Structure 1
Amino acid sequence: MTTPSLRGIEAFIKAVEGGSIAAAGRQLGLSAAAASQSIARLEAELGTRLLRRSTRSLALTDEGQIYFERVRPVLGVLEDAHGEIGALRGEPQGRFKVACSVAFGRHVLGPWITGFMQRYPRLNVELLVVDRQVDFMHENVDASIRYQHMLEPGLVARRIASAPIHYCASPAYLNRHGQPATLEDLARHRCLAYRMAMDGRIMPWPFIRGGLRIEAAFEPSLTCSDIDTLAQACLAGAGIARLGSFVSNPLIESGELIPLFIEPAIHGGAEAAQAHAAPEPLEFFVCYRDRQHVPPKLRLFIDELSEALSDHPGLRMPRCPGAPRPPIS
């Protein structure tokens, strides 16, 4: 059997990933017709049909599904190898896929990634912005930005930033319902909760009081799987929301939201400080597969993102920047 051409394999993989042959052509710098011809030649070389084509859809045959699952990781390895060779010449290049949560993508990674791409124009960056666990192997992901609840065994997790948490409410809500003085008061308020897509659980509301971690008891009046939607509901006076600082800071600075449970006044003394419950910050980690093999473009991404986050107005650097943390099952 003739060895299949790399161009045909690339066109096939990109067509499946992008959902169309035209999308494959755009990624490879080909016309849709040229990409289609490359896939047709690949099918002829293999002696089997890989794709079912119609004017509106693209579907894998049984043989195509098997071939896609076997060949996709190999193509990723080849692209990584090309990228590493380019990096040795000071030219990081090739495919680079990053996954992150929706809120982090909208407010932090999305605005930053444009400058990164401009500095390294030979990198083909793909952002997978989803509030679910991603499969590094099957989804061909190079790096994933996760908060602590999303860590999993088998991945290297390097702490890169800490986001202060604000429990917020609108002035209109506080005028109607009053301001909670202690976290125990939250049980009597309307609370807006975030449901984690990865496992369906409600995100807890943790605090630190007297050096101990405690979780506030509350009954959600609204549950949502998108942080920005919760923030909008909070702005409209629906209740109290738990928001990361990179979402809440502009809204607090404009006076549209009021932060709760802020630091006690200095004149309150040691007793007041001891009784104060401070919101536990949200820690972010960059995750990748292999501690022993970190491709140059991945190392470059981690280093530059870490440096950028150190200057981000809504984030703080962790106490031990870059220190790996064991995944939490």
Structure 2
Amino acid sequence: MDSLRGIESFVRAVEAGSIAGAARRLGISPAAASQNITRLESQLGVRLLVRTTRSLALTDSGRVYYQRVGLLLHELNAASEAVSELHDEPRGRLCVAATAAFARHVLAPLIPAFNRLYPHISIELMATDRNVDHVRESVDVSIRIQPALEEGLVARHIARVPSIFCAAPEYLAVRGVPKAPEQLQEHDCLVFRFPLDGRFLRWGFVRDGELFYPPVRASTISDDIDTLARMAVAGAGITRLGAFIAAPFIERGELVELFSPVGTGAAVAEIEPLDFYFCVGDRHQLTGKVRAFRDYLLEAVPPDWRAP
């Protein structure tokens, strides 16, 4: 048992980047986590970590050991959960990582009802636009848009969210209203950049069944979509937002929807939607609590977001 405590403290310290971070995840004091690791090192007869007041680094032995026990600890936890769920309702910690905007605007309002349905599940919500590592960061589920999918993940489509191009009335009064996607290159465009690899989220349209990406002039770039929304409201230019972000601004008259078929008779081109996926590291991670959260989301998202 002492060895298992040491292994868990060691693995969580590596994942969190600090012993204090490991202690928070385990619900123990930093001193206890440090003692667990020290006892493990004594039992193994090697040093696993180089610890200073500001940093934590793996030794060569620690790197080899972590590669072996990290996955084993994950499998052990999954096995314990699977057995307990045979006789009880889903329970335990559920770590969900989602894009910052989806976490803030979609998941946050939905989670309280899920908590009432499953009071024994404790959710940790990570709001981040970087791609998380399911194993290293102990993430059970990640919600990703299609461009952020990675090879090896098991992904299920959960939502097709309309994209909306919009700008402030003041901006459009001065610069004019673009009538076709090709006119975007004549405007100030507020563009989202993925923080992980620096790629832009391209502005896609569909015309006559063909997907195309018109050239745009990126006057402002940000890795936070809510920041771009606020800049658009302030009159900085045109931006592309998910419907769950744009709708309140449009309802209040702070932003005007562009390329809408309403009032024009027909759309010049359809706007490429944002597809969101429910991702796990492998099929073994589809535990009872993960399936419960997946099924809840599939029912909770608006009906018009459910792709055929």
* TM-score between the two structures when normalised by the length of structure 1: 0.83
How far apart in 1 are the matches of 2:165 and 2:6?
53
- Unpaired stretches in structure 2, ≥5 consecutive residues: none
Identity among equivalent pairs (%): 49
How far apart in 2 are the matches of 1:39 and 1:317?
47
- Unpaired stretches in structure 1, ≥5 consecutive residues: 321-329
Indicate conservation of the 8 Å contact 2:49/2:57, yes or no.
yes
How far apart in 1 are the matches of 2:54 and 2:150?
38
How far apart in 1 are the matches of 2:220 and 2:272?
22
> 1:304 and 2:281 equivalent?
no
CA displacement at 1:137 relative to structure 2: 4.3
Aligned mate of 2:98, from 97, 100, 124:
100
Structural mapping, 1:240-319, within 5 Å:
240-265=238-263, 272-273=265-266, 276-291=268-283, 294-310=286-302, 316-319=304-307
Please give the secondary structure, in 2, of the residue aligned with 1:197.
coil
Superposed CA deviations along residues 172-198 of structure 1, whole A, max 9, x for unmatched, are: 111211111222221211111112234
How far apart in 1 are the matches of 2:165 and 2:124?
33
The residue that corresponds to 1:236 in the other structure is 234
Indicate conservation of the 8 Å contact 1:170/1:236, yes or no.
yes
- Whichever residue aligns with residue 307 of structure 2, its letter is R
How far apart in 2 are the matches of 1:49 and 1:175?
67
The residue that corresponds to 2:79 in the other structure is 81
CA displacement at 1:223 relative to structure 2: 1.8
The residue that corresponds to 1:172 in the other structure is 170
User: Given the superposition, is the C-alpha separation of residues 293 and 238 from structure 1 closer, same or farther in structure 2, using an over 3 Å criterion?
Assistant: closer
The residue that corresponds to 1:323 in the other structure is none
How far apart in 2 are the matches of 1:229 and 1:166?
16
How far apart in 2 are the matches of 1:103 and 1:6?
38
Please give the secondary structure, in 1, of the residue aligned with 2:179.
coil
CA displacement at 1:167 relative to structure 2: 0.5
Of the structure 1 ranges 20-29 and 81-90, higher mean CA displacement relative to structure 2 is found in 20-29
CA displacement at 1:319 relative to structure 2: 3.0
User: Given the superposition, is the C-alpha separation of residues 101 and 66 from structure 1 closer, same or farther in structure 2, using an over 3 Å criterion?
Assistant: same
Indicate conservation of the 8 Å contact 1:101/1:131, yes or no.
yes
Please give the secondary structure, in 2, of the residue aligned with 1:255.
coil
Of the structure 1 ranges 105-114 and 115-124, higher mean CA displacement relative to structure 2 is found in 115-124
Superposed CA deviations along residues 142-201 of structure 1, whole A, max 9, x for unmatched, are: 322111222233333211111111101011111211111222221211111112234422
Of the structure 1 ranges 65-74 and 104-113, higher mean CA displacement relative to structure 2 is found in 104-113
User: Given the superposition, is the C-alpha separation of residues 134 and 20 from structure 1 closer, same or farther in structure 2, using an over 3 Å criterion?
Assistant: closer
The residue that corresponds to 1:327 in the other structure is none
Indicate conservation of the 8 Å contact 2:95/2:139, yes or no.
yes
* TM-score between the two structures when normalised by the length of structure 2: 0.88
User: Given the superposition, is the C-alpha separation of residues 225 and 166 from structure 1 closer, same or farther in structure 2, using an over 3 Å criterion?
Assistant: same
The residue that corresponds to 2:51 in the other structure is 53
The residue that corresponds to 1:36 in the other structure is 34
Of the structure 1 ranges 204-213 and 229-238, higher mean CA displacement relative to structure 2 is found in 204-213
Indicate conservation of the 8 Å contact 2:225/2:241, yes or no.
yes
CA displacement at 1:122 relative to structure 2: 4.2
Indicate conservation of the 8 Å contact 1:101/1:130, yes or no.
yes
User: Given the superposition, is the C-alpha separation of residues 292 and 6 from structure 1 closer, same or farther in structure 2, using an over 3 Å criterion?
Assistant: closer
How far apart in 2 are the matches of 1:244 and 1:154?
27
- Whichever residue aligns with residue 235 of structure 1, its letter is V
User: Given the superposition, is the C-alpha separation of residues 184 and 228 from structure 1 closer, same or farther in structure 2, using an over 3 Å criterion?
Assistant: same
What RMSD over aligned residues (CA atoms) do the two structures have, in Å? 2.5
Paired positions, count: 308
- Whichever residue aligns with residue 169 of structure 1, its letter is A
Please give the secondary structure, in 2, of the residue aligned with 1:5.
helix
User: Given the superposition, is the C-alpha separation of residues 125 and 107 from structure 1 closer, same or farther in structure 2, using an over 3 Å criterion?
Assistant: same
CA displacement at 1:53 relative to structure 2: 2.9
How far apart in 2 are the matches of 1:16 and 1:153?
24
User: Given the superposition, is the C-alpha separation of residues 248 and 80 from structure 1 closer, same or farther in structure 2, using an over 3 Å criterion?
Assistant: same
Of the structure 1 ranges 212-221 and 75-84, higher mean CA displacement relative to structure 2 is found in 212-221
- Whichever residue aligns with residue 162 of structure 1, its letter is R
How far apart in 2 are the matches of 1:248 and 1:235?
10
Indicate conservation of the 8 Å contact 2:19/2:34, yes or no.
yes
User: Given the superposition, is the C-alpha separation of residues 11 and 155 from structure 1 closer, same or farther in structure 2, using an over 3 Å criterion?
Assistant: closer
Please give the secondary structure, in 2, of the residue aligned with 1:283.
strand
